A and B are shown apart, each in its own frame.
Chain A
């Protein structure tokens, strides 16, 4: 049986990326294990939560390719975590079970098309209404914000999403983001949708803007899906892409899922 190391998998990803790999990305690095570890299988995911790592391990997959963080901060800096009980348990589990974790964030977003945008547009049913390829702007059949939000929630299977705006506002022109990238809801954009956004006191506070628009009778809306919910569809496409050039070991999406329950 053919074998392959984590480093060899990364080399093949770099060759197949379609754009130059950003070697200086502070995010896209090893978080556990290293390049010489022999890989038994690849588990792709939006976030390498401890639960996701355990489920991947149970399936015999020891290489976690994660879009988001492993140790709860953007650079996965662990210097302050040495005495944290959760850090100890998670890191010891990875070490004991020969698990390799590598992040695939900046380089995934550099690809064209960007899997995360492409897949979210497909899974919401919006793709056919995109005004131009990779524009992330859609002219949807006119509907109400309430109906649009309900449809998106049903298609993505999310329960803890949050909506801002008048449910009866008539919306059509939509701008989509993923992850922490919420577009601005001004000008001729009726509704914005993304994963997560700073609630107030940022560069642009869409939430307050949409609340005020609703008070003034201006039709605007904001759909906040949740960070993982917005980017997990892209990891399905990432998995299919990897399968094209990794044939020695199984490659599977092991979902992180929605972290919350609504109340």
Chain B
């Protein structure tokens, strides 16, 4: 009787004959995590790569999905909120186990202070794995292929959040025309609309007038800034390196060009694109609830 809801039982009983619970179970067979990934692969619109980080990181793909949580990064905080919201399938853009390899035994970091080979199990890693197992969670990474979609969902999400979609400049989907605004005011708008706590950094003269903006969400190398900065007044980027795009933007300003570079941090630049991913999944997996959960700005700074 455990598989029958009250209504199903009432309907079955009212019909004069009890239907075997197994039949009901088959009729309402829930979608599994593996089924959902199959649907994503079939609908994402890009060829699936053989070498990709978009794989299961934890849990059993055959698990029946009760609800989906989409996030930029499957942090402990996101996992707890997902469980509280009744979700058991987590789709994350960034790693879960503290590194690209998503290995249960992460490699030592650069510089000194690496973990000895025979070190005891790491308490943070162990606690996270146990939480995932205890709550029957399945974690799958969705990064490479989501970003390959056209138009770029990270740019689309970011421009929607900023309210710029109608201002798309002709020619390049990552460029936007704005009402004239100072670099400082623009930085303030980006900060408030993305909900950035304390990780934002800006290069350029705060009073520089900005009329065109280019978006570089995620992490980008010098080549992206070299291509974009000559054509816009300011770039809003996620993560760049200080000896690459930061120095390039500084030098461009010193050379007399009125430019700016606003750095949101990688996670905050990816949040709107993953929110958009949740909206897309709702159309793809109508059987189950899909919810985006904010990872939030990892950074703060002392006042």
Residues of A at the B interface (CB closer than 8 Å) are 47, 49-51, 54, 68-69, 72-74, 80-81, 84-86, 89-90, 135-137, 146, 149-150, 153, 159-164, 167, 175, 177, 180-187, 189, 192, 194-196, 198-209, 211-213, 215-216, 218, 220, 224, 226-228, 259-263
Contact = CB atoms under 8 A, between A and B. Distances in A.
Given A181-B110, A199-B265, A259 B203 contact: yes
Nearest to A47: B247
A182 B94 contact: no
A128 to B, nearest CB: 19
A202 B247 contact: no
Interface in B83-111: 94-95, 98-101, 106-111
Given A86-B252, A90-B251, A187-B115, A80 B226 contact: yes
A154 B238 CA distance: 27
Given A85-B230, A163-B301, 14 more contacts: A49-B254, A81-B226, A159-B301, A160-B301, A164-B298, A177-B111, A199-B265, A199-B267, A201-B94, A205-B99, A213-B124, A215-B77, A220-B124, A226-B242
B219 A182 contact: no
B266 interface: yes
Contacts of B298: 164, 199, 207-208, 211
A72 B100 contact: no
B255 A208 contact: no
Interface stretch (B19-27, B193-201, B286-294): B193-201
A216 B110 contact: no
B280 to A, nearest CB: 22
A69 B222 CA distance: 12
11 contacts: A85-B252, A86-B255, A90-B251, A137-B113, A160-B201, A182-B109, A196-B242, A199-B219, A203-B109, A205-B98, A206-B109
B62 interface: no
Nearest to A93: B255
Interface in B230-246: 230, 239, 241-246
- Top 8 nearest A-B pairs by Cβ distance? A184-B109, A183-B113, A260-B201, A181-B111, A150-B302, A215-B76, A227-B242, A175-B113
Of the four ranges (under 10, 10 to 19, 20 to 34, 35 or more), the interface on chain B belongs to 35 or more
Contacts of A195: 242
A49 B243 contact: no
Contact of B230 (A72, A84, A211, A226): A84
Contact of B108 (A150, A163, A194, A204): A204
Interface of B: 53, 73, 75-77, 80, 94-95, 98-101, 106-116, 119, 122-124, 127-128, 184, 187-188, 191, 198-203, 206, 219, 222-223, 226, 230, 239, 241-248, 250-252, 254-257, 262-263, 265-267, 298-303
Nearest to A74: B243
Contact of B111 (A49, A183, A224, A226): A183
Contacts of A81: 226
Contacts of B201: 160, 162, 260-263
A199 B112 contact: no
A49 B258 CA distance: 17
B244 A73 contact: yes
A105 to B, nearest CB: 10
Nearest to B226: A84
B77 to A, nearest CB: 5
A212 B242 contact: no
A104 to B, nearest CB: 14
Given A136-B112, A184-B114, A227-B243, A149 B302 contact: yes
Contacts of B257: 85-86
B230 A204 contact: no
A261 to B, nearest CB: 5
A145 B38 CA distance: 45
Contacts of B223: 80
A212 B113 CA distance: 19
Nearest to B53: A201
Contacts of A86: 248, 251-252, 255, 257
Nearest to A158: B301
Contacts of A228: 242
B95 A137 contact: no
B243 A47 contact: yes
B199 A200 contact: no
Contacts of B101: 203
A196 B203 CA distance: 16
Contact of B203 (A150, A185, A224, A260): A260
Contacts of B100: 201-203
